[in-house]
Amino acid sequence: METENVKFDSWCIVELFGHNVLAGKVTEQVICGQAYVRIDVPKTSKCPAFTRYQLPTSIYGMTPVEEDYACRMAEQIQAQPVTSYAHNQVISELIREKLQEMAKKSLVEI
């Protein structure tokens, strides 16, 4: 029996471990030699469209659905992308640490 190398490309409801659910266009993508499931969550009334990459081992279940159904479920689920406030907080911490290192270094040189 010959097997075909068919790439997965479907609208789905994706159940993730940790009781998280996403709805969107699901495809496969290899990043740095590792296969990931790419979930493109559509824009909703409260959130912009975003992409989430998941390792296949973190997926509990996946149900193929029609595009309209997936978009309506995305509206109901209201999943959120990583928010910028977290990035700003981390960047502020890194800057603060770097400034402290620079201050200590300049005191040592004096």
Round the CA-based radius of gyration of the chain to a whole number and report it: 21
pLDDT surpassing 90 at residue 92? no
- Sign of the four-CA dihedral 42, 43, 46, 47: positive
Closest CA to 12 of 27, 31, 33, 29: 27
Task: Name the 3-class secondary structure at 62.
Answer: strand
Per residue in 21-71, pLDDT tens?
999 999 999 999 999 999 999 999 998 999 999 999 999 999 999 999 999
Closest CA to 34 of 58, 2, 60, 3: 58
Confidence (pTM): 0.70
Where b means 16+ CB within 10 Å and e means fewer, 18-54 reads eeeebbbbbeeeeeeeeebbbbebbebeebeebebeb
